[in-house]
Structure 1
Amino acid sequence: MADPPGAAEVIALRQVSRRFGEMAGVEALSLSIAAGEFFSLLGPSGCGKTTTLRLIAGFERPQSGRILLQGRDLTDAPPHRRPVNLVFQNYALFPHLSVWDNVAFGPRSQRLAEAEIRRRVGQTLEVVRLSELARRRPHQLSGGQQQRVALARALVNAPAALLLDEPLAALDPDLRRTMRSELKRIQREVGITFLLVTHDREEALSLSDRLAVLHQGRLEQVGSPRQLYDRPRSAVVATFLGAANLLPEGLAGGVRLLRPERLRLSANPPEAGERGLRARVRELAFQGATVEVRLRCADDLSLIAIDTTAGLPEHLRVGEELWCRWDPADSHLLESPSP
Structure 2
Amino acid sequence: MNPGTLQPDRQAPLQQPGDRAVIELEKVSRRFGGQSSGQSSGQLGGQFAVEELSLSIGPGEFFSLLGPSGSGKSTTLRLIAGFEHPDGGRIRLQGLDLTGAPPHRRPVNMVFQNYALFPHLDVWDNVAFGPRSQRLAAPQIRRRVGEILEVVRLSELARRRPHELSGGQQQRVALARALVNAPAALLLDEPLGALDPDLRRVMRAELQRIQRELGITFLLVTHDREEALSLSDRLAVLHQGRLEQVGTPRQLYDRPCSAVVATFLGATNLLPDGSAGGLRLLRPERLRLSETPPQQGECGLRAQVRELAFQGATVEVRLAGRDGLAGRDGLALIAIDTSANLPENLRVGSELWCRWNHADTHRLADCPP
Alignment-mate amino acid for residue 120 of structure 1: R
Match of 1:15 in 2: 27
Deviations along 1:169-218, one digit per CA (max 9) or x if unpaired, are: 00000000000000000000010000000000000000000000000000
Quote how far apart the aligned CAs of 1:252 are: 5.5
CA offset digits 1:127-149 (Å, max 9, x no partner): 00000000000000000000000
Q: 1:266 aligns with which of 290, 295, 310?
A: 290
Q: Is the 8 A contact 1:238 1:244 kept in 2?
A: yes
> Does the alignment pair 1:244 with 2:268?
yes
Cα drift, residue 42 of structure 1: 0.1
Matches within 5 A, 1:301-320: 301-320=331-350
- 1:95-114 to structure 2, matched below 5 A, reads 95-114=119-138
**What is the deviation of 1:314?**
1.1
1:113-132 mapped onto 2 (5 Å cutoff): 113-132=137-156
Give the number of the structure whose residues are more often strand, by fraction.
Answer: 1
**Equivalents in 2 of 1:277, 1:180: separation in Å?**
40
Aligned to 2:363: 333
Residue 323 of structure 1 is matched in structure 2 by 353
Q: Tell me how far 1:251 sits from its aligned partner.
A: 4.3
| Cα contact 1:244–1:260 (8 A) shared by 2 | yes
- Which amino acid counterpart does residue 344 of structure 2 have in structure 1? E
Stretches of 4+ moved more than 6 A in 1?
none
Kept in 2: contact 1:47–1:217 (CA 8 A): yes
For residues 257 and 308 of structure 1, the distance between their equivalents in structure 2, rounded to whole angstroms, comes to: 21
Q: Percent identity?
A: 81
Give 3-state SS (helix, strand or coil) of 2:294's partner.
Answer: coil
SS of aligned partner of 1:261:
helix
RMSD: 1.1
CA distance in 1, matches of 2:48, 2:76: 12
The answer to whether the 8 A contact 1:254-1:336 is kept is no
Deviations 1:217-267 (A, max 9, x none): 000000000000000010000000000000011245400000000000001
Separation in 1 of the partners of 2:47 and 2:351? 47
- 8 Å contact kept, 1:255–1:336: no
Asked if 1:172 is matched to 2:196, the reply is yes
User: CA–CA distance in 1 between the matches of 2:148 and 2:218?
Assistant: 16
SS at match of 1:75: coil
Name the residue aligned to 1:3. Answer: none
Q: CA deviation at 1:23?
A: 1.6
2:234 to 195, 202, 210: 210
Which of 62, 82, 85 aligns to 1:61? It is: 85
Q: Give 1:336 deviation, angstroms.
A: 8.4
1: CA distance, partners of 2:242 / 2:87: 15
Alignment partner of 2:317 out of 287, 293, 296: 293
Q: 2:280 aligns with which of 216, 236, 256?
A: 256
Distance 2:118 2:155 in 1: 18
Matches of 2:199 and 2:146, distance apart in 1: 25
Question: Which residue does the alignment assign to 1:224?
Answer: 248
Name structure 2 gaps, 5 residues minimum.
1-17, 34-45, 323-328
TM-score in terms of structure 1 length: 0.97
SS at 1:9 equivalent = coil
Per-residue deviation at 1:8? 2.4
Could you tell me which amino acid in structure 1 is paired with residue 356 of structure 2?
Answer: W
Give, as a single letter, the amino acid of the residue that structure 2 aligns with 1:323. W
Shift of 1:166: 0.1
